[in-house]
Structure formats: C-alpha cells, structure tokens
Structure 1
C-alpha cells in the first residue's frame, strides 16, 4: 500500500491524463493536496507546484460564504457521508470568480481507513449550458468507472460514488432546464 502522500501509479497516471479537473488530498492534518491534474490547473489558473501541500481553501475568497465553507470543512474532517457534492464560490489565480461544483469521495485503504480524498471540480457556468450537460454526464460516468477500477486494483474503495455522480448530473440537468425558462 502506498503512503498517504503517494498515489498508486495507475491512479496517478489516470488523474494526470483525465480531462476532468481532479485533485487528491490526504485525510491527515489540514488535508493538503498531493496531486492535481492539468485540467485543475487550467480551471483555476494555478500550477501544480503552487498548490501541492496546500488545503483547497486557497480557492476561496471574498464572496465565499460560511454556508458554502462548512459542508466542505465537515467532509474533509470525516463527518457525514463518504461522498458529497458541494457548490462553492471560488477564485482563480487571476482573481476571477467562478461557481465551482465540487464532487468529493473518500478513498479507503484495505483496512477500511479513509486515506485520501478525490475531488473533481466543475465550473458551473459551462456545466449549466444545455450542450454541456450530456457531455459532462458521459465524461463523469467513464471517469468514475475508470477510477473505481484502478482503486480496486490498489485496495482503495469508493462507496456509493456511482449513485452520487448520477444524482449530481441529474441535478445539473434540472438546474439547466429551470434556468433556460
């Protein structure tokens, strides 16, 4: 089993090559990031070396509310379900604001201990566009299948993620349709 600051090679390769903005943190201490991919860097404007070792709260800013922060804080500190989705106001490196829809899953080792947190980020502005909902749905489904398979090979498990992703995509679709009226 790799240490909490190392990813299994296949999982690390998958994250690096994914077109979905992904980040992985440990569950230790302040939940520092141990890996992000190019899609994350493109979304946020930060380079990997800017963010590794930091908690993702560096993306928060003036318009990020306590109501948005608290559920993320609770999740990172092991409270609640093992999967969650969290809308939050975030900021890119250049200071521009975006509405981020964060999906997080705890990854468990073979002993059932949560060791890592896998998070995917979506700019809700583009995800809300009708043409993007079905594309995101297909990409999320494939990404989840790939990550779960890789995780199983290395003793990690993501409990209930398929239903979470399906529910989240359905929520985005409903929001998209209600906004277009």
Structure 2
C-alpha cells in the first residue's frame, strides 16, 4: 500500500518541474506541506527544508486579516467546492509582504477521499497596484458567464476562469493518482 502522506513519484516529479509556484499538503492533522517546488521557494524565499511539515499559514503575518484567513481555513477543512481561488496577504522569509492569489484543488483517491491539497501561488502585488484586478475580475466573470451561456446553446461547455486556473495543474496530477508508481 502506498504511503498517502507522500505523493506518488510521477506526481512529485511533475510538480517539481513546474515553473508555477506549487505546494502540496496532506490532509493529515494540520494540512502539513509534503512538497514544494523551486518556484515556490523562489517566490517565498524559504528553502524546502524550512517548510516541509508546516502548514502554509507561516506565510501569513501581522496585516493578514481574519477575512483573508477564513476562506483558506474553510477550504482546508473540507468546506465548499473542490477548487477555489483565495487572495491573501503573505510575507516572504525576509518579511516583504506580497499579495498572493492561491489557487487550491482537493485531490481525491479512487475511493473519493481527499488525500492532498494542491496550491498554486501567484504574486499579484504588481498587478494589483497597476490595474485594479478585483474590479477587472468582476468584469471578466460577467463576460465569461455570458460567453458560457452562449456556448451552451451550441453544445459547448466552459468552466469558470478561477476553477480552470485552480484545476490546470491538478488535472495532470490527478491522472497520476490513478497510476501512482
């Protein structure tokens, strides 16, 4: 029987190769990290050995509000859909704050039990300062909703943008859960 606290080797190799900052946690106890890639380390300033076994909340700091924390907490504890996007103010190892958009997906085994949470990290600090991303997100969501409605009339399907982003890496990762070794 495979060790469910560690990802299958194919999954680990795929995540490590990604240029997107990725973190994988188990669902045991306090959702400790079991894998982070080089992009995650570059984004946060932490080395892999500094973070494995810890919950990602170590990235939060004094200006990270309860309103930012609560949706992350709820997701990790199984509430809501299996994928989502969570804006949160995080801090690098050197104390520099950054606006992190965390895209998370629950990863289930064949029996349907959630065994991992995959988190993609995106530093949106510059984009928030330049373009008012939150307002644009609303406009984009409205446009995608309209487009989705139109495409359904032609028998096409389209996922919401946030879910698509959350699932983009997880799709390949989930395939490796069916063939773990």
Report what 1:43 is aligned to.
Answer: 43
TM-score (norm 1): 0.74
How do residues 137-148 of structure 1 correspond to structure 2 at under 5 angstroms?
144=168, 147-148=170-171
Report what 1:54 is aligned to.
Answer: 54
Distance 1:9 1:25 in 2: 15
SS of 2:64's equivalent in the other structure is coil
Distance 1:52 1:153 in 2: 22
- Asked whether 1:31 is paired with 2:31, we answer yes
SS of 1:154's equivalent in the other structure is helix
Distance 1:13 1:26 in 2: 17
Distance 1:87 1:36 in 2: 19
> Alignment partner for residue 177 of structure 2, among 144, 154, 165?
154
In the TM superposition, what whole-angstrom CA distance separates every residue of 1:121-144 from its partner, at most 9, and x where no partner exists?
Answer: 0000245568xxxxxx9xx87x82
In the TM superposition, what whole-angstrom CA distance separates every residue of 1:115-163 from its partner, at most 9, and x where no partner exists?
Answer: 0000000000245568xxxxxx9xx87x82x64234224229xxxxxxx
Which stretches in structure 2 are left out of the alignment for 5+ residues? 132-160
How do residues 10-29 of structure 1 correspond to structure 2 at under 5 angstroms?
10-29=10-29
Distance 2:173 2:102 in 1: 21
| Maintained 8 Å contact 1:14/1:147 | no
**CA RMSD after TM alignment:** 2.1
| Maintained 8 Å contact 1:11/1:147 | no
